[in-house]
Structure 1
Amino acid sequence: MKRIVIVLALVGTLGLTAWTLLTNKKEVEAKIYKPNPDQKVGVRTAIAELRNLAQETEFLGSFSPNREVEIRPQAGGQIIQLPFEEGQLVGTGRLLAKLDDEQLRYQVEGLQVTLEGYQNDLKRYENLVKGDATPAVNVERAQLNIRATEAQIKQLKKQIANTTITAPFAGIITEKMVEKGSVVSIGSPIAKITDISSLKLVVDVPEKAINQFRTGQSIAVLTEVYPNANFTGRVSMIAAQGDAAHNYPVEITVNNSGKHPLKAGMYGSIANTDKLKTQALAVPRQAILGSAKQPQIYVVENGKAVLKSVEIGTTTNEYYEITKGLHSGDQVVTSGQINLQNGTPVVAQ
């Protein structure tokens, strides 16, 4: 009798538990939102159509001088002439500095006297050799002395020439490092000269766009300081090696303008237009779902959103070129895709 009571109690407990679970399931299911399959979702759409596509990419850089060097003398001494000021325009061969060369000239005079003595000795020895009055070796020794002295004179004259320092090219003195009366050594800088008759605009171009440039190509250049002025540059260098981010420096040479003078360090930019096919089937970028490898688009057909896989070509800032999966005139969804599933009824807003 006792076992029967226990069994009945267990059966009753299990039945109560099952009834409770069933009741809770019904309550949960009643609370879950079930979308109305006939309710239409509002979306925004656009028409896939043929367009003349062009992609304009702007690359920003800064201007650097055509040439810039520090003037360093090849001789040492005291500066006795320094006929320039910072900011002054100088021409090619213009005197920039003159070093004291008095001691060098005295040495040249002394060697010239010595040279005359050796030349006179040579004449005497040549006459004596004819009469066998002196060995021929004296003539050879005199000739060697003459050659050595002439070499010393040439060396001193070269040193004297190095005391005259001139501008290697036309430019502007952008830095003056010494004053008249200063004593300088060989190789110490005395000035910096900058040539901005033309400038070099260096921009970093990403790998995907580097093939749009070629050496010698003419290209429009824009500047912030002269927003309404048009400059034309020429691609003078394309780097053979990129950096870690796969950017390649491209150098554009721009002739300076008297009307709109440019300065080194100013910002400049180029806008390169990559023209695609004359006519290409295109949709707004907002219509594309998924990844670039597996793009998809919702197309409105018979009042429903149909999810289609497509293939894309070149992109611009606003459009994707569709190479497969759509037809001209198809209505594509550009906004509201988050509320859609394949076959969801839609209404264009």
Structure 2
Amino acid sequence: MNVSTRVVILLVVAALAACTASEPPPEAPVSRPVKLMTVGNDVPSRTLRFPGSVSAVKQSDMAFEVSGRIVEMPVTEGERVAAGTLLARLDARDYVAGRDRARAERNAARADFNRYDQAYKANAVTAQQLDQARRALEVAEAGYQQASKAMDETVLRAPFAGRIADKLVEDFANVQAKQPVLVLQSDDALEMRVSVPEVDWVREAPVSSPATIELEGDLQVVLSSLPDRPMPATITAFSGAADPVTRTFEVKVRFHPPAGVSASPGMTGHVAYTPPAESNGNALLVPADAVVTTPDNRPFVWVYEDSTGAVTRRLIDIGELSGDRLHVLAGLEAGERIAVAGVHTLADGAAVRPMGD
């Protein structure tokens, strides 16, 4: 080996040594913050939420029982009216004339009956003639009552206090009998109709009638437009059988909007029920969002190990869903800590730290 070759080799070795010395040491794995939950036997306080829409407790599609032309409709949409308030009136001239004619016929039939009655007592007419006069009077009396009722039906009054939700016809329109002309809704109390899954209905409210419902937890109505103003509510009615398709029970929940809250039918929201926390034996409940599935649909959770500061995958056996939580039948023990957020981005052995540490 000549001198020039040795020089080249020394230069290459020196260059490699310099590159090796300039490389930084490998970085230690960075732990990411993760929200954890300690699993326990006590069922944590949970809230069951059932979406629904607001409707009036009482609603009436107001209609005349007779036909005619509207000559007066002094109410406007959105106006609040008291019970007995005049809502609309028909042109009653024909009905007044019909009533007066029926009254005259009734009076004539009554006078005829009185004459036949006196004549019968004097043995001047037969019992059959008296019966004919009595039947004529009864027919005339019925005709008068019918005509009087028809005239009264030309006036439409509010059967209860409420708010005019909609006017369905124009002023001075000709309407037919039983044709709705406006919609009246009560506004002192409202209700929300929701569909409750049968598993929650059986567990939380095993009752036979609304009068026996005594929920120990907290039942509230929360409007989507007022999420920070929950309103106390009570169950007033529910379906007697589950829907054959959805397997849910329809439940009506009544609530009273507080002063200053303008709640109206048609608004959306949900009914929130928070049952009291209770001991649940050996069963454990975990948030449904904390449970992940393997490619072959086996459920598991990420268990946090204090000794390693990392999470490991733990296969579990799950039971039925209760609200937003799942019953864990096997695979976890009380006191263990599991990840409950960001679980789809974790990996086995990933370094994490409890959120807030």
**CA apart distance, 1:247:** 3.6
Higher-Rg structure is 1
Query: Residues 42 and 254 from structure 1, CA distance in 2 versus in 1: closer, same or farther, beyond 3 angstroms?
Result: same
Quick check: 2:49–2:323 contact (8 Å CA) kept in 1?
Answer: no
Query: Residues 127 and 267 from structure 1, CA distance in 2 versus in 1: closer, same or farther, beyond 3 angstroms?
Result: closer
Query: Residues 181 and 299 from structure 1, CA distance in 2 versus in 1: closer, same or farther, beyond 3 angstroms?
Result: closer
Where does residue 242 of structure 1 map in the other structure?
A: 243
**CA apart distance, 1:171:** 1.3
Quick check: 1:220–1:231 contact (8 Å CA) kept in 2?
Answer: yes
Where does residue 18 of structure 2 map in the other structure?
A: none
1:235 partner amino acid: I
CA distance in structure 1 between the partners assigned to 2:31 and 2:322 by the alignment? 24
Q: Does 1:277 align with 2:275?
A: no
Matched residue SS, 1:235: strand
**CA apart distance, 1:89:** 0.9
Quick check: 2:70–2:172 contact (8 Å CA) kept in 1?
Answer: yes
77, 80, 83: which one aligns with 1:86: 77
Where does residue 166 of structure 1 map in the other structure?
A: 157
Quick check: 2:233–2:254 contact (8 Å CA) kept in 1?
Answer: yes
Query: Residues 311 and 94 from structure 1, CA distance in 2 versus in 1: closer, same or farther, beyond 3 angstroms?
Result: same
**CA apart distance, 1:156:** 0.8
Query: Residues 193 and 291 from structure 1, CA distance in 2 versus in 1: closer, same or farther, beyond 3 angstroms?
Result: same
Segment drifting more, 80-89 vs 205-214 = 205-214
1:263 partner amino acid: S
CA distance in structure 2 between the partners assigned to 1:151 and 1:242 by the alignment? 48
**Deviations for 1:169-213, whole angstroms, at most 9, x for unmatched residues?**
211112123344322221122111122322222223333323344
Query: Residues 105 and 228 from structure 1, CA distance in 2 versus in 1: closer, same or farther, beyond 3 angstroms?
Result: same
**CA apart distance, 1:131:** 5.0
Where does residue 8 of structure 1 map in the other structure?
A: none
CA distance in structure 1 between the partners assigned to 2:142 and 2:323 by the alignment? 72
**CA apart distance, 1:160:** 1.2
Q: Does 1:101 align with 2:103?
A: no
Where does residue 179 of structure 2 map in the other structure?
A: 188
CA distance in structure 1 between the partners assigned to 2:137 and 2:82 by the alignment? 41
Query: Residues 152 and 211 from structure 1, CA distance in 2 versus in 1: closer, same or farther, beyond 3 angstroms?
Result: same
Q: Percent identity?
A: 21
User: Structure 2 length as normaliser, TM-score?
Assistant: 0.66
**CA apart distance, 1:73:** 0.7
Quick check: 2:76–2:167 contact (8 Å CA) kept in 1?
Answer: yes
User: Structure 1 length as normaliser, TM-score?
Assistant: 0.67
**CA apart distance, 1:164:** 1.6
Q: Does 1:219 align with 2:219?
A: yes
**CA apart distance, 1:279:** 8.5
1:265 partner amino acid: G
Quick check: 1:299–1:307 contact (8 Å CA) kept in 2?
Answer: no
Query: Residues 42 and 100 from structure 1, CA distance in 2 versus in 1: closer, same or farther, beyond 3 angstroms?
Result: closer
**Deviations for 1:41-69, whole angstroms, at most 9, x for unmatched residues?**
99999897646442434332221222222
Equivalent residue runs for 1:1-349 within 5 Å: 50=40, 52-54=42-44, 55-129=46-120, 132-214=123-205, 215=210, 216=213, 217=215, 219-239=219-239, 240-242=241-243, 244-273=245-274, 275=277, 277=279, 285=290, 336-337=347-348
Segment drifting more, 61-70 vs 42-51 = 42-51
Quick check: 1:66–1:200 contact (8 Å CA) kept in 2?
Answer: yes
**Deviations for 1:55-110, whole angstroms, at most 9, x for unmatched residues?**
43433222122222211110112223222122211112211122222233333333
Query: Residues 94 and 329 from structure 1, CA distance in 2 versus in 1: closer, same or farther, beyond 3 angstroms?
Result: closer
The answer for unaligned runs of 5 or more in structure 1 is: 1-40, 340-345
CA distance in structure 2 between the partners assigned to 1:263 and 1:290 by the alignment? 47
CA distance in structure 2 between the partners assigned to 1:101 and 1:117 by the alignment? 24
Matched residue SS, 2:141: helix
CA distance in structure 2 between the partners assigned to 1:109 and 1:332 by the alignment? 86
CA distance in structure 2 between the partners assigned to 1:81 and 1:49 by the alignment? 69
CA distance in structure 1 between the partners assigned to 2:281 and 2:88 by the alignment? 66
Query: Residues 71 and 296 from structure 1, CA distance in 2 versus in 1: closer, same or farther, beyond 3 angstroms?
Result: closer
Quick check: 2:39–2:338 contact (8 Å CA) kept in 1?
Answer: no
Query: Residues 148 and 255 from structure 1, CA distance in 2 versus in 1: closer, same or farther, beyond 3 angstroms?
Result: same
Quick check: 2:40–2:334 contact (8 Å CA) kept in 1?
Answer: yes
1:171 partner amino acid: G
CA distance in structure 1 between the partners assigned to 2:190 and 2:254 by the alignment? 6
Query: Residues 89 and 291 from structure 1, CA distance in 2 versus in 1: closer, same or farther, beyond 3 angstroms?
Result: same
CA distance in structure 2 between the partners assigned to 1:210 and 1:185 by the alignment? 45
Matched residue SS, 1:197: coil
Quick check: 1:221–1:232 contact (8 Å CA) kept in 2?
Answer: yes
**Deviations for 1:229-284, whole angstroms, at most 9, x for unmatched residues?**
23111122333223524343332111122221211122222333454537977889
Query: Residues 143 and 231 from structure 1, CA distance in 2 versus in 1: closer, same or farther, beyond 3 angstroms?
Result: same
